[in-house]
Amino acid sequence: MAQQKFDLVVIGSGIGGMTAAAMAAHKGYKTLVVEKLPFIGGRFSTREWKGFKLTSGAIGVEVGGVMEKTFKELGLDFDVRLEEGMRYRIGGQDFEMPKRGGLKALINIASGDEKEADRIYGLIRQGWKWQEPPGTMTFQEWLSQYTQNPKILGFFQGVLSAMLGGNIWELPAHAFIRFQTNMGGYRAFGVAPKGNTYLMNQLADVIRKNGGDVWTSAPARKVVVESGAAKGVVVQKNGQEVTVSSQAVISNAGPRRTIELIGSENLDRAYIKLVRDTYVPMSVMWLQIASDKPLLPYHGMLVPAEARRVNLINCPTNVAPELAPKGKSLLIVGAAPKSMTPPHDFKGELELALLDLKDIISGFDNAEILMASWFSGDWPVLHTLPGHELPNKTNVENIWQVGDGAVPQGWAALPGSTLSGRIAVEDMERRLKPGA
């Protein structure tokens, strides 16, 4: 069995793993990334199909947030083209969220009753400024104490579904509050005109330039644990098993797979129970649609707040025509199923999503649906249900978890995953020195 030695092995090349690996390499740790798939990026990758550059997951890239900060620190080209702000469709009209007092203004539009809007906004503000609602009830149960107005409930369903990927009858009451207080919401969105892979390849270059490497088609088989600490990873490479010894391991493989890799015999039962009880990978339906003309007039996302299923629509080719063949346009649509966990009724869910699109988009009937896919189960839209975040450590020392299954409280999606990578490396620096 072949042997190799690194300071750090990162399992999985999603944005959390690649952020951690590039930051560690930049700080002098000899770093190896092992990726099971033949390409890097996970759900932040780009795959070409019929001349389209299709995202493997992320619908937009946050601009002005932790990912841009990371790229600047590493001296990389954060090539992301800014989109306009999000618009919300309420009562058949599209509204931009004003920079100040935006949420209050939109509640007012949805409600049509200024007094009620003031009262409901006051509750949200109280959550931000004084005390968050408990996580023991859903957002819908919590809000229903204060209003039964279906227009307000419908508006919040649209907003929470778009921002956090879940339904108000499933997300805990505090998730939306923490998303604002801890993460600060999303700043602005953009699209990577050369594809997400262009960004990921730069992180891979940082790793290689600093003495590390990135292996694709190289699945991790197990984490080597000795005396309660991670000592390396066994990797399948070119048909043989390679033992890579290391001071530290960072897993971007998701909580369930990480338990398998560490081995439940090495783990505290309380952690396994925590994962069993609280780990809820979330589903979303995802449509990628081609057309001759742009199906959305906006250079930014639309949240159809009162739709049946569709929660987010983006026409990335309006700002980045490079993503489609000449004369073609691409539309990406997210739709939250009735339940965010499987099994799903694909036909029924698709039918409702298509009814939404016919209502929202004129000329939709002439479009070509390239794919109607799911993110679900072990390849979910988010590994963590917002409000039920898992810790990034277990009892086994010197192995950290990153990615959307290990985000800090209140954080989600790309910014949360990126931050989880940075946090793991900062913690590693306090314990382990490069080359030791």
Partner 1 sequence: MLKVDEDRCVGCGLCMPSCPVEALRAWGKIQVDRNICNECLECIPNCPVDALREG
Binding footprint of partner 1 on the chain (CB under 8 A): 36-38, 42, 47-50, 54, 56, 217, 286, 342, 346-347, 350, 371-379
Nearer to partner 1, 376 or 398 (CB): 376
Question: Cα separation of 266 and 252, whole Å?
Answer: 19
Question: Cα separation of 407 and 140, whole Å?
Answer: 24
Nearer to partner 1, 376 or 420 (CB): 376
**String of DSSP letters for 249-290:** EEE-S-HHHHHHHH-GGGS-HHHHHHHHHH---B-EEEEEEE
Shortest Cβ 303–partner 1 spacing (Å):
23
Shortest Cβ 374–partner 1 spacing (Å):
4
Shortest Cβ 338–partner 1 spacing (Å):
15
Rg (C-alpha) for the chain, rounded Å, is: 22
Nearest Cα to Cα of residue 9 among 28, 26, 29 = 29
Shortest Cβ 217–partner 1 spacing (Å):
6
Nearer to partner 1, 75 or 343 (CB): 343
Nearer to partner 1, 123 or 372 (CB): 372
Strand partners, 382: 282
**String of DSSP letters for 1-33:** -EEEE-SEEEE--SHHHHHHHHHHHHTT--EEE
Nearer to partner 1, 114 or 378 (CB): 378
CB count in 10 Å sphere of residue 95: 18
Nearer to partner 1, 18 or 168 (CB): 18
Shortest Cβ 43–partner 1 spacing (Å):
9
Name the pairing type of β-strands 240-245 and 2-5. parallel
Shortest Cβ 354–partner 1 spacing (Å):
13
